[in-house]
Amino acid sequence: MTRLSLVLLVVLAWPMLAADVNPFFQEWKTPFGVPPFDEIKDQHFLPAIQKGIEEQRREIKAIAGDPRAPTFANTIEALDNAGDLLEKVQSVFSNLTGAETNDRLQEISKQVAPLMAALHDDTFLDPRLFARVKAVWDQRGTLKLEADQSKLLEETHKTFVRGGANLDAEQKKRLRAINQELSVLGVRFGQNLLKETNAYRLVIDKKEDLSGLPPAVVAAAADAAKAAGQAGKWVFTLQAPSIWPFLSYSGNRELRRQILTAYTKRCDNGNEFDNKQVLYRIATLRAERSKLLGYPTYAHFALEERMAKEPAKVYGLLNQLWEPALKVAHKEAKDLQAMIKEQGLEFKLEPWDWRYYAEKVKAARYDLDENQVRQYFQIDNALQGAFYVAKRLYGLTFIERKDIPKYHAEVRTFEVKDSDGSHLGVFLIDYHPRPGKRGGAWSSRYRGQRIKDGKDIRPITVNVCNFTRPSAGQPALLSPEEVETLFHEFGHGLHSLLQRIRYSGLSGVPRDFVELPSQIMENWAMEPEVLKVYAKHFQTGAAIPAELVAKIEKASKFNQGFATVEYLAASILDMDWHTITSEPGKDATGFENASLEKIRMMPEIFVRYRSPYFQHIFASAGYAAGYYSYIWSEVLDSDAFQAFKEKGLFDPETAMAFRKQILEKGGTADAMEMYKSFRGREPSVEPLLEKRGLK
């Protein structure tokens, strides 16, 4: 295509670009090739995505029509190298739609989803292309391939087969229709949830209704009210830094009930954002597609690519943990009910009471007040604590750079250097909630690591979270849970930054293995040796007292019955949705209720994610039949951390083994084999049971 025809295409696709140069069509001259966010406008995305799709189609067509005999280089390797422009655009677009979206980007998402689904199907359902892939696959016994090349060949062939390459014409037609519909439904689910979450505000105009709330929480609510045009009042939202402190400290039981009810009724209110029919249709279509591809259920399809391999093994682990967790949670409920009675009250414990009375029991039992602990967890210090651990383990240095572009003023940017001073990658952090950011915490990439034309392309990694904001002249002071989340996402970031592979097609690891690098980092966050380094009082700078560290350690297993039950219930609900063989017999609410009744879910605890806002499994397929992955990986991380506990928190030999056998290898080897290479054996569940106090 000539430059003139390209310009005409862009102008026709988006008239507003007539005098504009699309930055995606240029080489980025920014430091380390970070996207020039200040130059990228909303209107640049659709033309660039369309152009990227066009280029990738042309590349795929050339591979499929290559007159030469199929080889690893001209087929498998060529496929791995296809789509550079589309990847360049999509990495920015997908990251911004999660962290800094707006109505225009959401509208583009709806247009792009079916285009991407069509490209996927046109690639993996192309008989000429699959014939070439299969020809190379059939020769695998005679090819002299290196280990990662053999793995790439295996994964490429498997992806085609799982994408429907072996289906007949009629089946392929139906598969395309299913994939098109699913692509739109997933976008709709996520957008509904964001809008419903942002729509709710608990507005308080009486000071007495703030009873029990810590000054920092009150100050943050005042700031939120001012930002919402209601100065002089206090606003609480469904964002994590707002709702969870409110539920933990508000003495107003009715307001606790209101805000938790709003949270658990998101996308379940019969309005335009209701997700019940959307998720029901998603689950039904996934079941149909899986059967079309030869699998009994979607869970069988998904788990084939994971460590668990089959639903029975997932249910086996969840059931092994469920009964001990339920037993501990019932005991915890009795303790909370006793606290209610001790205060001269007669009501029965409800879900909106749990966090409030858990704080009171913890304070009485361990003389531990989370607000006292927060004074030592200034966000910048916690980040430096994570950097300290990375330095001690792997020799990494994080240097803040002001010249690296950022997509929002709150983002901070760092160059990461290896122990020998060489450039390792770029690390971005984005830590506070905004209306354009979805809830939760995640790690992602603006550019993945790979080797191209002999050059090691280093990654651009981002951590996105929703932590407590600074307020009333105070810095952001984190809860212990938020500190662990910071270390968790940092672990994902290290996994990305340390990766050293040749092929982008081998950058991913099984969903139930990917949480190992993140969750193992949580272990260092509360280790006394590490706390003494970063946990310093935000006013005096004094290191956290040894007696307070001892209290934190003593209380580490407190309320683990609650935490484990709410999580396991969500994991079981996910598996139940994805082990259906056809359209469920009940509506979404009825199905969910039946799932929870089957496991005897406690009425005092809400499942962590109800179906209408279970974004992990319905907004995309990322964690579908995979929410169990956190506990599966916790078995791995608890066992792996024992190696450090046995030999030393920062033992160089153990750290180097973890880096070489786990963090650098991406998906170049079988996950269990990688783990055994590090640990010398398969993992044991015992350290997890001990860690959660379930023994």
* Nearest Cα to Cα of residue 627 among 642, 648, 608: 608
579: exposed, middle or buried (Cβ count in 10 Å: 0-12, 13-18, 19+) = middle
Token pair in block for residue 381: 């210090």
- With beta carbons less than 8 A apart as the criterion, state whether 259 and 243 touch: yes
Question: Which CA distances in Å does 521 have to 278, 375, 488, 647?
Answer: 36, 22, 6, 17
* Nearest Cα to Cα of residue 479 among 224, 244, 238, 210: 244
* Nearest Cα to Cα of residue 377 among 321, 416, 450, 431: 431
Measured CA to CA, the distance from residue 247 to residue 356 in angstroms comes to: 6
Three-state secondary structure string covering 178-194: HHHHHHHHHHHHHHHHH
Pairing of strands 460-464, 423-430: parallel
Radius of gyration of the chain (CA): 26
Instruction: Indicate the helix (H) or strand (E) that contains 638.
Output: helix 629-647
Phi-psi region of 347 (alpha: psi -120 to 50; beta: other; left: phi over 0): beta
Instruction: Tell me whether residue 583 is one of the annotated catalytic residues.
Output: no
Enter the DSSP assignment of 462: E
Measured CA to CA, the distance from residue 391 to residue 619 in angstroms comes to: 36
DSSP string of 529-588, one letter each residue: HHHHHH-B-TTT-PBPPHHHHHHHHHTTTTTHHHHHHHHHHHHHHHHHHTT-SSS-SS-H
- With beta carbons less than 8 A apart as the criterion, state whether 257 and 353 touch: no
Enter the DSSP assignment of 72: I
Distance of CA 497 to the CA centre of its chain: 17
Question: How many other β-carbons are positioned within 10 Å of the β-carbon of residue 106?
Answer: 17
Question: Which CA distances in Å does 397 have to 10, 383, 417, 478?
Answer: 42, 13, 5, 24
Residue with tokens 């979450």: 197
- Of 489, 566, 604, 634, the catalytic one is 489
CA dihedral sign of residues 225, 230, 232, 235? negative
| Residues acting as catalytic residues | 489
